[in-house]
Amino acid sequence: MNDSTLRDNLALERTRLANERTFLAYVRTALSLMAGSAVLFQFFSDLPSYLFAAWALVVGGGLTLVVGLVRFLRVARQLKATPAVE
């Protein structure tokens, strides 16, 4: 294995790890949005405007998680289709 082959394989592995890191950032963001909604539900459930905001955060967190998963799977599929350098 020459230097350019090793460099290409390491670059591909770094890209895979970056994809996982990005997905985990989406998960973290989704959980933060849902935790914020839990706070609003717990402490401000008697105010209609806060209740609406809480539900909006739940929906936003769910959408963030779905978008992150779709992007992760799409990039992972593209990386898997990339031929390994030998």
Confidence class for position 4, pLDDT limits 50, 70, 90: confident
Q: Does 57 reside within a domain?
A: yes
Residues found in the chain: 86
Question: What's the Cα-to-Cα distance from 39 to each of 18, 47, 58, 59, 70, rounded to whole Å?
Answer: 32, 13, 11, 15, 28
Range of the domain at 11: 3-81
pLDDT band per the 50, 70, 90 thresholds, residue 73: very high
For 62, residues 6+ apart whose C-beta sits below 8 A from its C-beta are 30, 34
In a domain, 60, yes or no: yes
The pLDDT, as a whole number, for residue 84 is 66
Is 71 a domain residue?
Answer: yes
The domain total for the chain is: 1
Q: Minimal CA–CA distance to 20: which of 73, 80, 84, 81?
A: 73
> Could you tell me the pTM of the whole model?
0.86
Is 13 a member of any domain? yes
* Residue-wise pLDDT tens digits, 7-65: 988 999 999 999 999 999 999 999 999 999 999 999 998 999 999 999 999 999 999 99
